[in-house]
Amino acid sequence: MNKTEPRTLAGFMELMPNEQILFEQMKQKIEKTYQKFGFLPLDTPILELSEVLLAKAGGETEKQIYRFEKGSTDISMRFDLTVPLSKYVAKNYGNLSFPFRRYQIGKVYRGERTQKGRFREFYQCDIDIIGDGELSVINDAELPSVIYNVFKELGFDDFTICINNRKILNGLFESLEQKENAAEILRIIDKIEKIGKEAVIEELEKIEVSKKSIEAIMNFIEIDGTTDEKIEKLNNLNIENETFKLGLEELTQVVKYVRTFGIPDTNFKVDLTIARGLDYYTGTVYETFLNQYRELGSICSGGRYENLAEYYTDKKLPGVGISIGLTRLFYKLNELNLIKANKKSIADILIIPMIEDMTKPIQIANELRKKGINTEIYLNDKKLKAKFKYADKLEIPYVIVIGEDEINANVVKVRNMITGEEKEYSFKDISNIKI
Amino acid sequence: MNKTEPRTLAGFMELMPNEQILFEQMKQKIEKTYQKFGFLPLDTPILELSEVLLAKAGGETEKQIYRFEKGSTDISMRFDLTVPLSKYVAKNYGNLSFPFRRYQIGKVYRGERTQKGRFREFYQCDIDIIGDGELSVINDAELPSVIYNVFKELGFDDFTICINNRKILNGLFESLEQKENAAEILRIIDKIEKIGKEAVIEELEKIEVSKKSIEAIMNFIEIDGTTDEKIEKLNNLNIENETFKLGLEELTQVVKYVRTFGIPDTNFKVDLTIARGLDYYTGTVYETFLNQYRELGSICSGGRYENLAEYYTDKKLPGVGISIGLTRLFYKLNELNLIKANKKSIADILIIPMIEDMTKPIQIANELRKKGINTEIYLNDKKLKAKFKYADKLEIPYVIVIGEDEINANVVKVRNMITGEEKEYSFKDISNIKI
């Protein structure tokens, strides 16, 4: 028979089992943390009507969409989890309780140019809090607490959640009469980390921002010190602009409550350069960095938006949310060997029978499984050495060999595969096993 | 602004949060049970090259595929989890340890005609055990044990796992010199539940099976009694055919070990009418029924196959597997109100602040979350009644109201939302809370 080459599409992650175990653990830790804050699960279709999914999209996004016709239906694959959320909330507005706090962990699709570490199919892990008409700014302080708990849970200590407020930036530009240029200026100063101060000034000059305004902008961006010093300096700017004042007030509130939520000052800071490229955000914005690995870019970002679902409904639905791009994060962390696993195997124990009759091995497995111990029986006929090699390759931490001797002596020997230590149990005591 | 109607595609399930919670619990119970038997997680792309995915497909299957071009690439969405598994095993043959035991829980896509209870996007929950060259028949006895544990875990007692062996049927046909007709005869007798005995005989006559053969076939199908009686009667048929004998031997072994795995005779039986329509299966086959709800059809099916990946590799890879169509199962069970939930909410406790300063409520939430209690704080400004209604709608079992009185008295009252009972704790004892 002619064989087809078993290929996987470029840009689609497919892991070996030992890596998949690590991936699943990361995913589960994120999910458990989201649940700890009471977020509700949501699962929306991967396919949507193009008309619905692309109500807002355009430009770059639209080019990347996987879009096709099935029968006479124009269908697209979702490219994020925010648009499906908007649709869902607009559609089910009358049946949802607000604030609607949901998490969604699922695959999204973008037909980007493939390159190392970029994926066309990837998991996003999102939470959003949606208010009906209004949403207290204290919610903006709770999300950093979720971010903090997620990354602590993933085994990280040295990370920084950077917080800013778009109203402060917007207000500054208004006060400088640069409101028209605001989006463009934001885009430019957002690059300061990448291209440096001089290049930013040059780009600002190119779009004809006055010397005086550039000076004010750079003074503003260069505000430094502790979080409290930054807030004090912002106050001392005495900028007479309502948007600026409101933003500063919100930021002050957020900082206060971020501390109340128990985030140490070593794990968050006010960073006035963060704008988040999108026009979408209107208040608090977040980015998160591993301090030893800044080159990974932000590993968890998000912010406050004014109106979630304006393309679908007249209801005003303000929200605040964050997103973790899990596939890329996993890929990078795995490459850097930074994933802290609780377990490296699914099975806790491998039972290796060296006899033909499987009755005893199965009975022992039954007992162990009842106890909640993940147990595998090696059921195929192989040499002892091959069976041990199997346990080794799967990194199963404990092995029980059952041969004639064990059957006759009515005992089970549990071998720790790392230390080589063995403990003996009688058959009837097997449920007292300690692993 | 012109609004787009926020619609979801027909045939795509999208649940309300309270249902989604039930769905996630079912999914998790299935996954935990799969892990208890040591199956390894696998996650493959939803998109595959059409050439790879459709190497085998044809006819009905191919018509249902979501297939499209992106750039110059011919892409299809997976329609099951078995073909991606075949590809994966063939592709990674050299790096996998055999027997390769994997579970995969994921969405698959079939553009079927939409009708109530049928879905175009649905979850399959699969396990397979793949051998390298050979695979002991005892594996065939372990899978019913997984099925048994899954449905017990899901809260069911009255279900039957029906077991048969295709070699017995095939051997019978060979002995009747009906080998050429075997597939057709199987297809017909597979319908006996639906269309009845007379209609089956009629259809067999139509394809010119001799009266004598039909009699032998019907005698065979009508073998009844207990599992052991059936096996005895099969032995007593004295059919001199090697395939038949091998099948009977395998079935006898499977029955023996199914009992060793602890499945009571009330939860499994030998059912000689089960053939599983597909040509794919070559040995043991399974179907599972809820006895009170036979109309749901089989809720977990599968069997033994000779060669997993013959379209991709020369390696002989025998396997045995089962699949649960979770989306449809959930839909039906939910309709029948048969889903047993451990929890109906994500949050265990809702903290309702009746004060402006959120410091105390947040501090209490921090303590509870540290203790592993899923805790939500109602952060928005609403009347007490609205906040209680929110807890009610989300079915959150405990509520803590914090007002001036509680702050002054340094206490927290935890209210059980079902019994109305209240327990008081001092602030510093909040981590001793019992819920």
* Mean pLDDT value across residues A311-332: 97
Q: Does residue B204 form part of some domain?
A: yes
Q: Which pLDDT value is given to residue B277? A: 63
Report residue A280: phi and psi, to 5°.
-60, -45
**Beta-carbon separation of B6 and A350 below 8 A:** no
The number of distinct structural domains making up chain B is 2
Question: Which residues from A are below 8 Å from B373, CB to CB?
Answer: 36
Q: Does B149 touch chain A (CB under 8 A)?
A: yes
**Beta-carbon separation of A91 and B43 below 8 A:** no
Q: Which pLDDT value is given to residue A58? A: 61
Distance from CA of A214 to the nearest CA of B (A): 36
* Mutate: best of A1, A2, A3, partner B, most B CBs <10 A: A3
What's the CATH code of the domain at B378? 3.40.50.800
Question: Which residues from B are below 8 Å from A366, CB to CB?
Answer: 261-262
Question: Which residues from A are below 8 Å from B69, CB to CB?
Answer: 68
**Beta-carbon separation of B139 and A379 below 8 A:** yes
Tell which residue, B378, B153, B353, has the closest CA to residue A142. B378
The percentage of residues in chain A with a pLDDT greater than 70, rounded to a whole number, is 98
Residues A255 and A360 in one domain: no
3-state secondary structure of B309: coil
Residue, of B147 and A179, whose pLDDT is higher: B147
Q: Which pLDDT value is given to residue A277? A: 63
Q: Does A355 touch chain B (CB under 8 A)?
A: no
End of a domain among B335, B362, B390?
B335
Question: Which residues from A are below 8 Å from B393, CB to CB?
Answer: 97
Distance CA B329, CA A392 (A): 38
Residues A308 and A364 in one domain: no
**Beta-carbon separation of B45 and A347 below 8 A:** no
Question: Residues near B207 by Cβ (< 8 Å), separated by ≥ 6?
Answer: B181, B184, B185, B188
Q: Does A306 touch chain B (CB under 8 A)?
A: no
β-pair partners for B303 = B285, B321
Residues A25 and A122 in one domain: yes
Q: Which pLDDT value is given to residue B184? A: 86
Of A36, A362, A390, the CB nearest to B257: A362
Q: Does A307 touch chain B (CB under 8 A)?
A: no
Residues B236 and B329 in one domain: yes
Of B1, B52, B366, the CB nearest to A310: B1
Of A23, A107, A139, the CB nearest to B379: A139
Question: Residues near A358 by Cβ (< 8 Å), separated by ≥ 6?
Answer: A377, A379, B138, B257, B260
Is 80 exceeded by the pLDDT of residue A166? yes
Q: How far is CA A410 from CA A175, A359, A401, B197, B260, in A?
A: 85, 13, 13, 52, 18
Report residue B274: phi and psi, to 5°.
-80, 120
Per the CB < 8 A criterion, the answer to whether A268 and A260 are in contact is no
Q: Which residue reads 């020997």 in tokens?
A: A413
Radius of gyration of chain B (CA): 27
Q: Does residue B74 form part of some domain?
A: no
Q: Cβ–Cβ contacts within 10 Å for residue A193, how many?
A: 13
Mean per-residue pLDDT of chain A: 94
Distance CA A392, CA A387 (A): 9
Q: Does residue B231 form part of some domain?
A: yes
The percentage of residues in chain A with a pLDDT greater than 90, rounded to a whole number, is 82
Q: What DSSP string describes A118-179?
A: --SEEEEEEEEEE-SS---THHHHHHHHHHHHHHHHTT--SEEEEEEEHHHHHHHHHHTT-G
Residue in chain A nearest B256 by alpha carbon? A359
Distance CA A51, CA B246 (A): 58
Of B42, B73, B381, the CB nearest to A17: B42
Residues B234 and B322 in one domain: yes
End of a domain among B279, B304, B335?
B335
Cis previous bond, A99, omega within 30 = yes
**Beta-carbon separation of A8 and B91 below 8 A:** yes
Residues A38 and A180 in one domain: yes
Residues B222 and B265 in one domain: yes
Q: What DSSP string describes B186-206?
A: HHHHTTHHHH-HHHHHHHHHH
Report residue B59: phi and psi, to 5°.
55, -130
Q: Does residue B125 form part of some domain?
A: yes
Distance CA B404, CA B401 (A): 10
pLDDT digits (tens, 9 = 90+) for A105-118: 999 999 977 777 78
What angle (nearest 5°) sits at the alpha carbon of residue A343, between those of residues B29 and B142?
45
Q: Does B309 touch chain A (CB under 8 A)?
A: yes
Distance CA A111, CA A249 (A): 41
- Residues constituting chain A: 435
Beta strands in A180-318 (DSSP E): 268-270, 281-290, 301-305
Q: Which pLDDT value is given to residue B55? A: 87
Distance from CA of A120 to the nearest CA of B (A): 10
Number of A to B CB contacts under 8 A, please give it: 246
Q: Does residue B1 form part of some domain?
A: no
Report residue A111: phi and psi, to 5°.
-80, 55
Residue in chain A nearest B24 by alpha carbon? A41
Residues A325 and A360 in one domain: no
Residues A330 and A357 in one domain: no
Q: Does B40 touch chain A (CB under 8 A)?
A: yes
**Beta-carbon separation of B381 and A5 below 8 A:** no
3-state secondary structure of B305: strand
Q: Which pLDDT value is given to residue B57? A: 63
Per the CB < 8 A criterion, the answer to whether B284 and B303 are in contact is yes
Per the CB < 8 A criterion, the answer to whether A9 and B75 are in contact is yes
Q: Does residue A426 form part of some domain?
A: yes
Distance CA A420, CA A391 (A): 13
Distance CA A334, CA A15 (A): 11
Residues A159 and A265 in one domain: yes
Q: Does B340 touch chain A (CB under 8 A)?
A: no
Complex ipTM value: 0.95
**Beta-carbon separation of B346 and A40 below 8 A:** yes
Q: Does residue B341 form part of some domain?
A: no
- Residues constituting chain B: 435
Q: Which residues of chain B carry a pLDDT beneath 70?
A: 1, 57-60, 277-278
Q: Which stretch of A95-99, A155-159, B270-274, B309-313 has the lowest confidence by average pLDDT?
A: B270-274
pLDDT digits (tens, 9 = 90+) for B305-353: 999 999 999 999 999 999 999 999 999 999 999 999 889 999 999 999 9
Q: Which residue reads 């022992």 in tokens?
A: A364
Q: A391: domain range?
A: 349-432
Q: Which pLDDT value is given to residue B278? A: 59
Question: Residues 185..224 of A with a Cβ closer than 8 Å to B: which?
Answer: none
Q: Does B293 touch chain A (CB under 8 A)?
A: no
Tell which residue, A361, A333, A347, A337, has the closest CA to residue A393. A347
Q: Does B28 touch chain A (CB under 8 A)?
A: no
Q: Does residue A96 form part of some domain?
A: yes
Q: Does A109 touch chain B (CB under 8 A)?
A: yes
Distance CA B266, CA B311 (A): 40
> Using DSSP, how many helices (H) and how many strands (E) does chain B show?
16, 16
Of A46, A97, A372, the CB nearest to B121: A46
* Mean pLDDT value across residues A130-157: 97
Of B4, B8, B45, the CB nearest to A121: B45
Is 90 exceeded by the pLDDT of residue A432? no
Distance CA A132, CA A93 (A): 9
Question: Which residues from B are below 8 Å from A138, CB to CB?
Answer: 358, 379
End of a domain among B311, B335, B359?
B335
Q: Which pLDDT value is given to residue A278? A: 59
Amino acid identity of A194?
A: K
Q: Does B240 touch chain A (CB under 8 A)?
A: no
What's the CATH code of the domain at B193? 3.30.930.10
Residues A242 and A330 in one domain: yes
- The sheet carrying A73-77 orders its strands as A47-49, A73-77, A67-70
pLDDT-derived band at A60, boundaries 50, 70, 90: low
Question: Which residues from B are below 8 Å from A346, CB to CB?
Answer: 35, 38-41
Residues B328 and B353 in one domain: no
Distance CA B5, CA B49 (A): 33
Q: Which pLDDT value is given to residue B231? A: 97
Is 70 exceeded by the pLDDT of residue A103? yes
Residue in chain A nearest B381 by alpha carbon? A136
Three-state SS for A98-131 is CCEEEEEEEEEECCCCCCCCCCCEEEEEEEEEEC
Question: Residues 401..430 of A with a Cβ closer than 8 Å to B: which?
Answer: none
